[in-house]
Every structure is written in structure tokens, then in C-alpha cells.
Structure 1
């Protein structure tokens, strides 16, 4: 189909590569195309956490055999000048591209996330968390990655409505509720006061935040949050 001056639409790329971010499931790419298109021809650094559905969050072994990287292939085409980094608890080192670097990381341990960011050696312009979706994993990642994000960059957390039984900790504040509390009164409220304090220290670096519901239908559960860094 015609691509037009701006290149192929991100949703079309997602559908072609088999990513669940496209029209067949989540429709995230409708939002992402609007947000990311201004970055498309820039030499940015892009980070995606979580590279293929079916990992330990679904009860499978972290050492599972992996055989595809649909969203990474999508991003490499969408951002032709970007350096793409992927982070996952499973091994994707077999996927080779001159603009792609893989980092293996267990998001249960914040030090592992910090080490992966040190290995990157450069501030991400855009970061997407599509990893386990466990609340504390999402929050661990934000606390380690957002401070390292480029000024003016975007941080995205997907699948806020679902947390896996294999990882989710009882009593922890859900990530959607955490960001809703910031939207309501510019204060992060969390069941763990230490985590709340860490998030509130980062509040001054947040210039804006949007929370979108499932398939952009306002009566449905929160699904994706986008945070802009000053």
C-alpha cells in the first residue's frame, strides 16, 4: 500500500510483523504513531523491555527457546536511523542487526536493570516497558530507567490492566493507580512509603502524563501510560 511522505504507518508495520501492538489486539500503535512520528528520522536511542510474549509471566522457563522479535523488527524499520536496544529475562542474543543491541536482565532485581542501563552507555530517547507487567517490575524499571531518559524523552508502560499471578506481590499498589494518584494531585501514593518517596523525588522531572484505557474506550480499564520528561 502507499506509504506517503511520512513512511509506512506504524500500525501497518505491526500487523505485517505480527506484533500485538497493532490492530489485531491492543492498538497501541495508533497512539505511538502520533507520539513517535516526530522522532522517526532522528538518530535516537530506543529501548524496549520485553521482546516476545510467553515468558515467565505465563509460567514458562526464563531459558525458553525464543525465535522471533516482532516489535524489534517493527521498530528497526519505523526508526531507520535509531539505535534500538532490547531488554528481556530470556535470551534474544541470536537476533543480530547492526542497529540492535540485546541486554539480558531480570527485572525482579533493580541492580540488574541498573547494570543493563550502564551497558547501554547512552540515554534512551524513548523507552517502552512491555516486560512481565508485574507492578513491582514496572516500578523497578521506571525508577532505574526514567532518571536516565533523555530530556524531552518519552517513557511508556503497557498492559496496566493485567498483572501475572506468577510475579505479582500481594498488597503492592498497582502502577495504574500510582500514576493516577500523580495525575490527581501531583503526589505519588504507594503502599510502600520508600517507593512513594523515590517516585516523588522524580516528580519534578515529569512535565506531563497521560493514561489511556483499553482500546482507547474510556469506560474500560487503564491500559497504557505515557510520561514525558522535562
Structure 2
């Protein structure tokens, strides 16, 4: 049976370790998604566009998910219209993730979901609107993944305007115990997130068996210090993935857990 990384490479997704940016997210996904693999779950991925070498549109990550989750129902959402791309067992929707009404329409039609992956514009405001809108459509025990948390398309503009990144929001919440606050989220939704999130996982970049031991050790130590709240590191590049786990029906007495993992999934 092919690993998720092998499938990513096969379908030309940059979530693996051979195509374009080689994010290697599949190394972590292989572990956290394994319990869902043979279940009839529902998945939504935001952000699909990728041109082939022939400049034709395709959705490599959707093809990867369909192969990895043989019983899953999968939906994709993007600014671009992918309705003419033939992807069996998957349904695509066109829209802007900054449009909460459109996100709601998609969720009403395709949800609720067990896994939501935000690989859209990466703009902090868009990510916060998306989280606030779609969180009620995430099933108990489900996972909400925010990719490329280290990068924003207009990072300098966001800083000047005082827009807080998702990474900053969830570091404050899960590591320093501060409340979730955002001008793009209602007070009610912020409170709901604080009550519902039982695990916040941060993953840091480009660390695998090919990485020099000194770099692995350095990243592990920095992440450990961040998790202990010893210093408010401002380097947004330290973590690339945020995974939020929603409280399940059997988790009523469970408190918040915060973890950091390397791409090899070794706990820090």
C-alpha cells in the first residue's frame, strides 16, 4: 500500500517531498490521518489550483486524498472553476474564501466534515474568516488544518495594518493561555473555539532524516522553549502547519493539549 508521501509525489502535489516546494506535510499527515483512512469520512480542501506542464488545470491533492481515503467523500473549494476537471468521487466548488456566505453555502451542501484543510490564499484575514465560518461544520473529533502558516501573500501590509496571523493567535492561546481574539471572529465564535479545541499541534519545517543532526537539534530546542512559554519568539517561519482538533463526544473532561512535532512526527 502506497504511503501518502508516495501518493503526493505520484500526483504531483507539493505536499510531498519531490514536487515544487516539497513541503513534506504528508509525513505528518500520514500519522494524524491514519485512523480515518478506511472510514467513510467527509473532507474539504480549500485551495486547489495547479497547472500541469501542458498548462491544464488539475487538482493533484484531491487525487491524492481520494487514493489515500478510499471511502471518503471529498470536496474542493477554489477561486478557479474546476467543474470541467474529471475527478471521480470529488466535487469542486468555486468561490472566494473571504466570502463567509459562499463558504456557508458550500458547507451546507457538502458538509459536515471530518477534516478541513485550508491551503487557500494564506492571507491571515481569509484564514480567520474561514475558520470562524466552517468550525461549526467540523464534526466532533474532527481536524482543522491550516497550511503554510509561516507565510502570508502581503506579510508587510498585514504587519502595518496590525492584522494578527493565525500562528500568533494560536501560539498566544495554546502556549501562553491568552484568549482567542480576532476582528474577523465574533466573540461567541472565539469562545466556542476556546471551549472546543482539545489539541493544538504545531509542526516545524523541512526536518526529516536528510536534515543535519545539528539543525534537527536546534529546531527541537527552540520549539521546546516556545512550548514552555520561555520566550515569545517572533520568527513566524518556525512553524508551518497548525492542526486544531475539535472536542469529541467522549472528550468532555479533556483539557487543552499543545504539541510541536518534526516532519518525522517525533514529539518535541
Fold conserved between structures, TM > 0.5: yes
Could you tell me how far 1:168 is from its partner in structure 2?
6.2
Matched, 1:205 2:205: no
Helix, strand or coil at the partner of 2:200: strand
Matched, 1:13 2:30: no
Once the two structures are superposed, what CA deviation does each residue of 1:13-55 show, in whole Å capped at 9, x if it has no partner? 101111000013111000000011111111100111001258x
CA RMSD of aligned residues (A): 2.2
> Aligned ranges for residues 158-169 of structure 1 at < 5 Å?
158-165=147-154, 169=158
Partner of residue 225, structure 1: 242
How many residue pairs are counted as aligned between the two chains? 212
Structure 1 residues without counterparts, runs of 5 or longer: 1-6, 55-64
Once the two structures are superposed, what CA deviation does each residue of 1:116-158 show, in whole Å capped at 9, x if it has no partner? 11121x3111110000100011111111112210111111000
Q: 1:37 aligns with which of 29, 34, 38?
A: 34
Distance 1:185 1:204 in 2: 16
Could you tell me how far 1:167 is from its partner in structure 2?
11
Partner of residue 93, structure 1: 83
Could you tell me how far 1:111 is from its partner in structure 2?
1.4
Contact 1:173 1:190 in 2 (8 A): no
Distance 1:183 1:166 in 2: 23
**TM-score, normalised via structure 1 length:** 0.85
Partner of residue 99, structure 2: 109
Distance 2:178 2:162 in 1: 19
Residues 155 and 183 of structure 1: is their aligned pair in 2 closer, same or farther, counting only changes over 3 Å? same
Helix, strand or coil at the partner of 1:215: coil
Distance 2:182 2:108 in 1: 29
> Aligned ranges for residues 32-71 of structure 1 at < 5 Å?
32-53=29-50, 67-71=57-61
**TM-score, normalised via structure 2 length:** 0.73
Structure of higher CA gyration radius: 2
Q: 1:133 aligns with which of 122, 127, 136?
A: 122
Matched, 1:146 2:135: yes
Distance 2:133 2:9 in 1: 31
Structure 2 residues without counterparts, runs of 5 or longer: 208-215, 223-236, 248-268
